[in-house]
């Protein structure tokens, strides 16, 4: 638990995502009209301009698409956390979500590494989605 971390600020477009996190469910927006994944959440589909959206529960499994190893803490709370991995995770519906990869050393992270979502509880009870390595891919 990282006490003092800045909190996400949900808005009309992201509230269902954060509500899902509270229930340990990874909900992703998908256009109701054309079926395209929509990330980051926004008011309109970039593919067909529809304003209709469905929130689909993700399996939470994905693969590392890209990543960096943070060696310099960008916030004082992170001083004891470096080095850590910030990765773009490829999920279903062509959605790539950014999060930390935990449960392995930073030098073990590689492209296509299979991961699954985990939820980290903050001191105020909010939950953040991050990822951990899984040994086998589906």
Cβ at position 19, least distance to Zn ion in Å = 22
The first and second tokens of residue 35, run together, are 């079926």
Residue 67's Cβ-side half-sphere holds a number of Cα atoms within 13 Å equal to 27
34 binds Zn ion (CB under 5 A): yes
Q: Which stretch binds Zn ion (CB under 5 A): 21-29, 50-58, 61-69, 101-109?
A: 50-58
Which of 8, 23, 48, 66 is close enough to bind Zn ion by CB under 5 A?
48
Handedness of CA 126, 132, 136, 138 (dihedral sign): positive
Which of 21, 27, 28, 45 is close enough to bind Zn ion by CB under 5 A?
45
52 binds Zn ion (CB under 5 A): no
Of 31 and 89, nearer to Zn ion (C-beta) is 31
> 96: exposed, middle or buried (C-beta count within 10 Å: 0-12, 13-18, 19+)?
middle
> 16: exposed, middle or buried (C-beta count within 10 Å: 0-12, 13-18, 19+)?
middle
Of 34 and 68, nearer to Zn ion (C-beta) is 34
Positions in the binding site for Zn ion (CB under 5 A): 31, 33-34, 36, 45, 47-48, 50
């Amino acid at each position: 638990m990282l006490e003092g971390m800045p909190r996400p600020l949900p808005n009309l477009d992201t509230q269902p995502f954060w509500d899902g996190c509270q229930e340990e469910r990874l909900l992703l927006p998908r256009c109701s009209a054309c079926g395209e994944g929509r990330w980051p959440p926004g008011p309109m589909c970039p593919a067909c301009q529809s304003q209709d959206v469905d929130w689909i529960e993700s399996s939470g499994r994905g693969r590392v698409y890209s990543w960096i190893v943070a060696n310099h803490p960008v916030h004082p709370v992170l001083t004891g956390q470096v080095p850590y991995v910030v990765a773009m995770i490829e999920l279903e519906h062509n959605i790539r979500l950014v999060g930390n990869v935990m449960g392995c050393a930073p030098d073990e992270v590689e492209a296509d590494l299979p991961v699954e979502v985990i939820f980290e509880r903050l001191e105020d009870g909010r939950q953040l989605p991050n990822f951990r390595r899984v040994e086998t891919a589906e």
